[in-house]
Structures are given as C-alpha cells and as structure tokens.
Amino acid sequence: MTRQPVNLSTLAATVTVVLWALSFIAIRSAGHAFTPGVMALGRLAVAVVALVAIVITLRRKRLRSAFIPPRGRALALVVAYGVAWFGAYTVVLNWAEQHIDAGTAALLVNFAPILVAVFAGFFLGEGFSPPLVIGIAIGFVGVVLITFGGGSAHADWLGVGLGLLAALLYAAGVLLQKVALGAVDAVSATFWGALAGLVVTLPFLPAAITEVGQASAADLGWVVFLGVGPTAVAFTTWAYALARTDAGTMAATTLVVPALVIILSWLLLDEVPTGLRIAGGALSLAGVALTRGLIPVPRRRSGVPRPVARGARVESELKEHEIEP
C-alpha cells in the first residue's frame, strides 16, 4: 500500500487555525497577571525577535536588503496598519478578554470581515451586491444576538463593547494592509507592521518591568507563546498555505476558529458563551460566509450577460489578506 504524501498546504493551514484559536485561550489565561498594554508589549517584543529569525531564514540570499524598510506611501501604510492591528487591536482585545470569555471574544472578532465589506463598499467604491447586502444583514443580526445574549459569569457589557471595537480595528487593519501589499511583500509587511505595533506599545514598558517580575513562569510562557505562535509562526504558515491554495478555501478555514475557541475554552477554562450568543455567532459566521461568496446564491437567468462588478474583483483580493489575532 502506497503512502499518500503529506499535503503541506493543508498542514500549514491547520497549524495557522489552531494557533489563532489558542491565542484567545492564551490571552484569557494570562489576563490575570498582565494588564492589556503590558501583554501586548510582551507579545510584540517576542514576535519581532521571532520574525527577525524568520526573515533571515527566508531571505538568506538577499539578507542585505531584507531589513530595509519600505519608503514613502508604502511605509506610511505599513505603519498605519501596524498601529491599528498589531498595536491598538492587540491592546483592546486583551482588555476585552478580561471582561468576556474567549469564545464570545472570538465570535465578536470574526464579525470583522462583515465590517471590511461595509467599509470597502463605502470607501473603495465596491458597491453592495444583493448577496453582500443579505450577508451583512444576517451578520448584524448575529452580532445583536451576541451583544444581548443573556447574562453570564464570564461576560459583561464593557467586554462586549471592547470586543466590537477590536473587530472594528481588525477591519481597518485588513483594509490598510490590503493597500500596503500592493507595494510590499507579505513577510516584510508583517515584520515592519509588528515593529510599528511594538513601538506604539513602548509606553507600557515601565509597568511591564513590574508585572514581569511578579508573573509566574506559566504566565510568561503564555506571552512568549502569543508572540512566537499566533503572531510569527501562524502568519508564516498562513502565507505558505495561501500561496498554494485558492483564497475561497483559505477564507473558509478561518470560520473554524470561533468553534475551536469555544471547544478549547470549555475544555481548558471551563467557560462557554450562552446559547443565545453561540446562535448569534453562527448567524454572524453565516453572514461572513455569504459576503465572501462561500455560500452560493441562485441567480436569476437573463438573456443579457451581466458584467463582473469591480467590487467582486476587489472583494476576491481582500480575501487573500485577512488576518486574525
């Protein structure tokens, strides 16, 4: 019997999804020992060191130019999305998870692709096709259910509000990164974006010196894991898989993250969102799938061929550069 070769793209995508799911557990676990800004600073410091190693490994033949930053508008875009995603988003998500369980946080953050579609429709001239409008409407209903999904010992109103703010920052980061990637390759964009995020979290350094000195080895381990695993390694495996797999398949894999987070949160933290919030999350993810074209929508037959909308092309490109915590 012949052994089937390992599908490296599938393996890379699986590694990415698992690491992104575990990031929500890690943030929740270490949240008792670190304030949100300090945890973000520690994560980004570790990530930048790990990304230096990755850049050296991948750019061995062009090492001299590997660490030259982009210039002009490209640099401004990379810094902007680095501040929005690596910096502000990370701090806000850490803060949110001090008030809501990991599963609810994952459900709220995964509403971001809906916001991307809304922003792209208004500000990038993509318009709103019927499937997109339906998907957005379903997604918003889902978020309403998550927001008003009943009381829980592991969630409060501040946490839900911060989770929605994190989704907003995530969406802004995706759009800025998409424009930046027109001039900068993915590895460089990730490295310089992480470095920009690290710089804006440096004001938390004095508090970090105190908190790191008081933290246990397990808590420090979670922060190191966040920097190496979900940030440095997961983005590398994501880029590898994306280069060898169609964007629709890769987009579908990210929908698994909230379900994994809920299972892991139940097993490792003994925390589960309320039933209503899980139902809202399912609706929200269905809306995301619809806006990404992962759910086929029957089209009315017509004798006149309809031109492909520019928005559909741009939306397809946006799928290729989405990111997670």
Angle between helix 234-244 and 247-254 (nearest 10)? 140
> pLDDT per residue over 155-178, tens digit each?
678 888 999 999 899 888 878 877
Query: Where in the sequence is the domain holding 128, given as residue range(s)?
Result: 8-297+308-319
The structural domain count of the chain equals: 1
Angle between helix 186-200 and 36-58 (nearest 10)? 150
pLDDT at 14: 85
Distance CA 103, CA 229 (A): 19
pLDDT at 88: 96
pLDDT at 252: 61
> pLDDT per residue over 134-144, tens digit each?
877 887 788 78
Cβ neighbors of 190 (< 8 A, separation 6 or more) are 51, 235, 239
* 71 part of a folded domain: yes
pLDDT digits (tens), the chain, 325 positions = 455 555 777 788 888 889 999 999 999 999 999 999 999 999 999 999 999 998 888 777 676 666 788 888 889 999 998 999 899 999 999 999 999 888 888 888 887 777 877 777 777 666 777 877 887 788 778 878 877 776 655 667 888 899 999 989 988 887 887 788 778 877 888 889 999 999 999 999 999 999 999 999 999 999 999 999 999 998 888 777 766 765 555 556 677 888 888 888 888 888 878 788 888 888 877 877 776 666 666 655 544 444 444 444 444 544 444 545 6
- Buried b / exposed e over 10-36, threshold 16 CB at 10 Å, is eebbebbbbbbbbbbbbbbbbbebbbb
* 325 part of a folded domain: no
pLDDT at 184: 81
* 74 part of a folded domain: yes
pLDDT at 11: 85
* 54 part of a folded domain: yes
* 3 part of a folded domain: no
* 324 part of a folded domain: no
pLDDT at 289: 74
Global pTM value? 0.81
> pLDDT per residue over 60-82, tens digit each?
767 666 678 888 888 999 999 89
* 262 part of a folded domain: yes
